[in-house]
């Protein structure tokens, strides 16, 4: 990684072209500057004019948002995905030429993306535009953190490129992106919704409880799908705006690929990295919110003392702690969970703080943690085998890690729940729940209905 002090875009590009000629490489050139405040969602909407794919990530509790436009480089892997991606990422950073005088997380070279829940499962046509793993280093990137705003331009440069022409083209696109309209289009209404084989799903729940009672597993997470048809093409920027307004304490995300867009608002952090400090989250055990403060408190207290939900939560806590021990030291886990409130739901929550050991990265932790018991089951191999054989839905990226990492050893990944895949005027929504030996199919079905609500409500339902 070459850190440079030049502030002229053209001089940066000249240096990158010279590096390409001398070293016979195609380095990434990255330049970050602070700009006046701009609404990230309006920036996302303005990027639609560019005809480039867009990415969006927001941690609503941290006042942190990243919007990516286009691709300077795509990291894509179908097999050995974690190891292969980390090797390519390291090589890119070693050769990169970076001007970034800020310590702000989410600036400089940053990759946003995710992966499929199960890379051994053949993709259906629904997820044809989403590889088993795909991370994008955006060509243009807006980062909002607390009260500051930054614009980063990334471009891969070759030995035959012309710095002046590249600089002129980048500047024209920058001007277009920063020229926001000041308003968002109206979201269309829902025309109709359709549940995918609900009776069959309930039968699968019953079969899973029988399977568990035979001591073949402790917990199996089953997901199902709900189809939504809109009166017109979905407006992703408006959907994101509604999600950020209505889903506090969540990670709001959108990953656009060839016109399809995977969108959601997940409350479940998988892992966060700040240099050597890492934080994971155990979020398992679910109940609805009450209509009054008193009812809400009663439901929360009941959730804290509910045997099924506590057992489900303890599965996740134990697994995350054991996984972190392989790569971390100074692991701190509270003895009891607390309630984590969201708009429609409340969950049992336990944070896990640790220090990353030398030689390990956020990729190591992701590879070890996924899938957590909250999305796969316990034991992992038996529950995944059951899901592969009996679950009708193709989860795609649902339930898998999505997030970002940057060139300054910062990053954050969430588990992609409360989400859906938007394709034109249609959306496939996904929800799941953990099945244990005393699960009742009808009760689990109603729990998934609650979990559909965050996406249904912002799509006009």
Please give the full DSSP string across 229-253, using - where no structure is assigned: EESS---HHHHHHHHHHH-TTSEEE
| Same domain as 226, residue 170 | no
146 is in an annotated binding site: no
14 is in an annotated binding site: no
| Same domain as 155, residue 260 | no
pLDDT over 90 for what percent of the chain?
79
| Same domain as 200, residue 147 | no
From 123-127, 212-216, 270-274, the region with the lowest mean pLDDT: 212-216
Q: What is the pLDDT of residue 284?
A: 82
Question: Is residue 116 included in any domain, yes or no?
Answer: yes
Q: Is the pLDDT of residue 4 over 80?
A: no
| Same domain as 205, residue 333 | yes
Kindly report, residue by residue over 406-446, the tens digit of the pLDDT.
999 999 999 999 999 999 999 999 999 999 999 999 999 99
Question: Is residue 20 included in any domain, yes or no?
Answer: yes
**Residue 97, preceding peptide bond in cis (omega within 30° of 0):** no
219 included as an active-site residue: yes
| Same domain as 203, residue 163 | no
Catalytic residue among 19, 187, 256, 268: 268
Task: Say if strands 97-99 and 2-3 run parallel, antiparallel, or are unpaired.
Answer: parallel
| Same domain as 83, residue 137 | yes
Q: What is the pLDDT of residue 461?
A: 64
Grouping H, G, I as helix, E, B as strand and the rest as coil, residue 454 is helix
| Same domain as 326, residue 205 | yes
DSSP state of 416: -
Q: Is the pLDDT of residue 128 over 70?
A: yes
Q: How many angstroms separate the first and last alpha carbons of the chain?
A: 48
| Count of domains observed in the chain | 2
Question: Is residue 404 included in any domain, yes or no?
Answer: yes
Domain boundary among 122, 146, 178: 178
| Same domain as 311, residue 215 | yes
Catalytic residue among 139, 219, 272, 382: 219
Please give the residue range of the domain that contains residue 206.
190-458
- Helix 362-369, helix 307-325: angle, nearest 10: 140
Question: What's the rounded Cα separation, in Å, for the pair 64 and 356?
Answer: 23
Mean pLDDT of 157-175: 93
Question: What's the rounded Cα separation, in Å, for the pair 45 and 448?
Answer: 31
Domain boundary among 125, 154, 178: 178
Q: What is the pLDDT of residue 80?
A: 62
What's the CATH code of the domain at 295? 3.60.120.10
| Same domain as 200, residue 114 | no
Question: Is residue 185 included in any domain, yes or no?
Answer: no
Question: Is residue 184 included in any domain, yes or no?
Answer: no
| Same domain as 220, residue 109 | no
Question: Is residue 77 included in any domain, yes or no?
Answer: yes
Query: Confidence band (pLDDT; 50, 70, 90) for 1?
Result: low
Q: Is the pLDDT of residue 6 over 60?
A: no
| Same domain as 404, residue 363 | yes
User: Rounded mean pLDDT of the chain?
Assistant: 93
Question: Is residue 57 included in any domain, yes or no?
Answer: yes
Domain boundary among 178, 204, 223: 178
| Same domain as 357, residue 253 | yes
Kindly report, residue by residue over 371-392, the tens digit of the pLDDT.
988 899 999 999 999 999 999 9
Question: Is residue 67 included in any domain, yes or no?
Answer: yes
């Amino acid at each position: 990684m070459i850190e440079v002090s030049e502030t002229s875009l053209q001089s940066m590009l000249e240096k990158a072209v010279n590096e390409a000629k001398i070293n016979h490489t195609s380095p990434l050139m990255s330049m970050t500057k602070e700009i006046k405040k701009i609404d990230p969602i309006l920036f996302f909407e303005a990027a639609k004019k560019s005809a480039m794919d867009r990415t969006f990530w927001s941690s609503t509790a941290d006042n942190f948002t990243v919007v990516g436009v286009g691709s300077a480089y795509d990291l894509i892997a179908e097999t050995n995905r974690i190891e292969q991606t980390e090797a390519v990422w390291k090589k890119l950073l070693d050769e990169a030429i970076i001007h970034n005088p800020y310590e702000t997380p989410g600036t400089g070279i940053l990759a946003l993306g995710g992966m499929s829940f199960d890379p051994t499962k053949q993709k259906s046509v629904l997820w044809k535009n989403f590889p088993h793993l795909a991370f994008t280093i955006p060509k243009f990137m807006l980062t909002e953190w607390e009260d500051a705003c930054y614009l980063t331009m990334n471009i891969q440069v070759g030995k035959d490129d012309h710095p002046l022409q590249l600089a002129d083209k980048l500047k024209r696109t920058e001007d277009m992106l920063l020229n926001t309209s000041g308003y968002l289009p109206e979201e269309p209404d829902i025309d109709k919704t359709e549940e995918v084989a609900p009776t069959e799903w309930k039968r699968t729940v019953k079969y899973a409880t029988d399977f568990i009672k035979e001591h073949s597993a402790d917990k199996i997470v089953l997901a199902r799908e709900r189809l939504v048809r809109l009166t017109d093409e979905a407006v992703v920027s408006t959907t994101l705006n509604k999600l950020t307004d209505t889903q506090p304490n969540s990670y709001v995300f959108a990953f656009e690929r060839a016109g399809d867009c995977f969108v959601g608002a997940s409350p479940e952090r998988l892992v966060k990295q700040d240099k050597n400090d890492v934080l994971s989250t155990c979020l398992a055990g679910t109940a609805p919110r009450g209509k009054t403060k008193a009812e809400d408190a009663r439901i929360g207290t009941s959730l804290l003392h509910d045997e099924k939900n506590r057992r489900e939560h303890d599965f996740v806590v134990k697994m995350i702690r054991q996984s972190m021990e392989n790569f971390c030291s100074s692991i701190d886990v509270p003895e009891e969970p607390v309630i984590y409130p969201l708009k429609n739901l409340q969950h049992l929550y336990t944070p896990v703080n640790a220090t990353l050991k030398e030689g390990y990265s956020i990729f190591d932790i992701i590879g070890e943690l996924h899938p957590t018991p909250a999305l796969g089951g316990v034991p992992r191999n038996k529950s995944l085998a059951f899901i592969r054989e009996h679950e009708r839905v193709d989860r795609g990226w649902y339930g898998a890690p999505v997030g970002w990492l940057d060139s300054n050893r910062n990053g954050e990944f969430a588990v992609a729940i409360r989400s859906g895949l938007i394709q034109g005027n249609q959306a496939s929504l996904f929800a799941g729940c953990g099945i244990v030996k005393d699960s009742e199919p009808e009760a689990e079905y109603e729990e998934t209905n609650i979990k559909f609500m965050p996406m249904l409500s912002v799509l006009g339902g």
